[in-house]
Amino acid sequence: MPDGFEVGVSTAAFQIEGAVRDDGRGPSTWDEFMAQPGRIADGSDASIATDHYHRYREDVGLMKELGVDSYRFSLGWPRIQPGGVGGANRAGIQFYDRLLDELLAAGIRPMATLFHWDMPEPLQHKGGWMTRDTASRFADFALLAGEAFGDRVDKWVTINEPTTVTLNGYALGIHAPGATLMFDSLLSAHHQLLGHGLAVQALRSVGVTGGIGITNVHSPVHPAKDTMRNRAHAEVFDLIHNRIFADPVLLGRYPRFPLLSRKLFAPLIEVDDADLKIIAQPLDFYGLNYYMPTRIGSGPPADDTTPDGVAAGVRLLPFHIQAWPEYPTTAFGWPIAPEFLTETLEDYATRYQGVLPPVYITEGGASFDDVVAADGSVDDADRASYLAEHLAAAFAGVEGVDLRGYYVWTLLDNWEWAAGFEQRFGLIHVNAETQQRTPKRSYAWLQHVLRERR
Ligand code: FCB
């Protein structure tokens, strides 16, 4: 492990906190979405989740025992600013005050994400990220958070995976708000990026002491066949999934769109230069989530499945995502291919040479169908190997990327969005009925690695 390399665990408020009606929290986009029949694979909801809101002390204790340097979590916007406008909800602020103080007392550096997908419902009803004004509302929220926690947060992430919000939330309807706008959803990408830039300005204006960045998810894209048509489809996927979110932030412009698909990208072509200046705020670090590569084939898909759930809209596309039969897969069916973490870093080294700030892998991890043995233990050797291979790739790094850390997704088995409780990603098993936490073998393995380095 390189000297000073930070290892952390990563979570998101809505997936673990529960307590959706406690202490003045307002309803969110996801509250509404999960209540709609058929949206969540197992019909569950996150109203209790892992009850972290009440058990955060125990959870910080487990992190301390694990020996991580840092904890990435998100601030629930509807908890802090229930209606999405106006002043802060004191009780919401106090919860994160307690959490931050607990972390600092345990010697764990806090990384706080401002938007990990739960938006106050009233803002969603005004159009959410399809409405330009939401970017300014988000900046106001950033200001509240910066004022309240700016003295203690070590690193700020503005938005988590704007890609996933646009593609799953606004284009395909797999995630909240469940819109199926296909390519028209690209306006939500621009507004999130604008919100990111305005939030960076807001945090700086209140003098937060921590570094500021964004988290984008990256998937290296490969055509299934080396034909012109297939390469063109792979390029379109690379644009929608990766480049339209990274280029404006790091290069201050949207990519050049291929002539034949320019019409589809229209919302990103007629963009004001002033917006791009705001989006390209200098950053202290850049967050990258890496889970898997993507192989693109030409022609519409044979069925409705996507890596994150089912979406009828994909049948309208002229390309489809293919499997990687040469790799083992997680319970989600995602290929396990650590060499593509290396390729992710290589993509960044070439695309953003000279402008890339220090990088953190802000998420990486795997879901497996864990088995609880008669004695209560969980021997998830598959997860431990997944982490061993991906951490090794991260430690090796690549030339041209100043990689500073890796955050494991995730601490606890939690509520995995549209998959409900069906996908377990945790280092710690959680019994949904009793809320009992049981560290798995992967937890013991990581603890051992972290102890050895000292
Ligand atoms: C990422 C999300 C995170 C979790 C993992 C499995 O895309 O940021 O909340 O769902 O995937």
Whole-Å CA distances, 384 to 8, 346, 377, 424, 427: 15, 25, 15, 14, 9
- Ligand 1 centre from 297 Cα, in Å? 25
Per-residue confidence (pLDDT) for residue 388, from 0 to 100: 98
* Choice among 17, 102, 121, 161 that is catalytic: 161
Whether the CB-CB separation of 96 and 80 falls below 8 Å is answered with: yes
Pocket probe mutation, ligand 1, options 161, 290, 306, 423, max atoms within 8 Å of Cβ: 161
Decide the pairing of beta strands 294-298 and 403-409. Answer: unpaired
| CA nearest ligand 1 atom 10, residue | 416
Residue 27 has pLDDT above 90, yes or no: yes
The domain spans of the chain are 6-452
Helices vs strands, H then E, count in the chain: 16, 15
- Ligand 1 centre from 114 Cα, in Å? 15
Q: Which residue has the tokens 């990327």?
A: 401
Burial of 433 (0-12, 13-18, 19+ CB in 10 A): exposed
Containing 286, the helix (H) or strand (E) segment is: strand 286-289
Rounded to an integer, what distance in angstroms lies between the CA atom of residue 387 and that of residue 442?
Answer: 8
Three-state DSSP class for 243? Answer: helix
- The minimum-distance atom of ligand 1 relative to the CA of 160 is 8
- The minimum-distance atom of ligand 1 relative to the CA of 367 is 6
Rounded to an integer, what distance in angstroms lies between the CA atom of residue 173 and that of residue 180?
Answer: 5
Burial of 443 (0-12, 13-18, 19+ CB in 10 A): buried
pLDDT tens digit string along 175-209?
Answer: 999 999 999 999 999 999 999 999 999 999 999 99
Q: Which of 250, 253, 254, 320 is nearest to 281 (CA)?
A: 250
In the annotation, is 452 catalytic?
no
Residues in contact with ligand 1 by the CB-under-6-Å rule are 12, 160-161, 164, 217, 289, 363, 409, 416-417, 425
Total-model pTM? 0.98
Residue 293 has pLDDT above 70, yes or no: yes
- Ligand 1 centre from 426 Cα, in Å? 12
Decide the pairing of beta strands 437-439 and 428-430. Answer: antiparallel
- Supply φ then ψ for residue 438, to 5 degrees: -130, 110
Mean pLDDT of all residues in 36-60: 98
* Choice among 121, 343, 363, 416 that is catalytic: 363
- Ligand 1 centre from 226 Cα, in Å? 31
Structure tokens at 282: 């200098």
Mean pLDDT of all residues in 76-98: 98
pLDDT band at 349, cuts 50/70/90? very high
Rounded to an integer, what distance in angstroms lies between the CA atom of residue 336 and that of residue 351?
Answer: 24
Structure tokens at 140: 């106001």
- Ligand 1 centre from 374 Cα, in Å? 30
Mean pLDDT of all residues in 301-323: 93
Whether the CB-CB separation of 361 and 348 falls below 8 Å is answered with: no
Pocket probe mutation, ligand 1, options 116, 117, 164, max atoms within 8 Å of Cβ: 164
- The identity of residue 377, as a single letter, is S
pLDDT band at 416, cuts 50/70/90? very high
Residue 434 has pLDDT above 70, yes or no: yes
Residue 446 has pLDDT above 90, yes or no: yes
What class does CATH assign to 6-452? alpha beta
Per-residue confidence (pLDDT) for residue 242, from 0 to 100: 98
pLDDT tens digit string along 372-404?
Answer: 999 999 999 999 999 999 999 999 999 999 999
pLDDT band at 454, cuts 50/70/90? low
Whole-Å CA distances, 406 to 9, 102, 395: 8, 22, 9
| CA nearest ligand 1 atom 4, residue | 416
